[in-house]
Amino acid sequence: MDENTFTENFNNQGWPSKTYLCYKLERLDGNAMIPLDEYKDFVRNKGRDQPGEPCHAERCFLEQISSWNLDRNQRYRLTWFISWSPCYDCAQELTTFLEENRHISLHIFASRLYTLNNSGSHESGLRALQARARINIMTFEDFERCWVTFVDHQGKPFQPWEGLEVKSQELSKELQAILRGQ
């Protein structure tokens, strides 16, 4: 992805209307994780302004992974860097997917928390998902790792925006309270 797309959508201070999901898959081989570069990319949600049915980024990803035909006798680690945490419906779908695909572990690093409907259902969705996946708010190191791995940065180092760490810490506390059911 280009630098501007990353900054516009992953900056944890803003409220972009798009969701970007960067993913990478690794296969466990003994004690080592082997990167599977053919399964490293990003997807974004399909909005009403695009052809076809609207689709959240998580659902777009689940449609892709179903065609990968991963060996059920192997163990895989899937890492996501996502600009918004999953909504309730996506969290439920991810939980079901992970229950049906126990050979895949998922670690989600979210830039910000999805709270669009404020009904609290997104919170129960995240709590259900945490039983099958690790969910964290992105820290400076995670933003930098995402930048290095997924952004066409032309050799430029990641430049944090003002307030990145403070906002990350606030969101992390909020996420931990949600996951504890508070």
- CA 18, 24, 25, 30 dihedral sign is negative
Can you say whether the dihedral through the CA atoms of 20, 26, 32, 34 is positive or negative?
Answer: negative
Options 38, 53, 58, 141, the catalytic residue: 58
Known catalytic residue: 170?
no
Long-range contacts (CB closer than 8 Å, 24 or more residues apart) made by 64-73: 68/39, 70/101, 70/103, 70/104, 71/103, 72/101, 72/103, 73/103
Name the phi and psi angles at 142, rounded to 5: -70, -40
Q: Among all residues, which ones are annotated catalytic?
A: 58
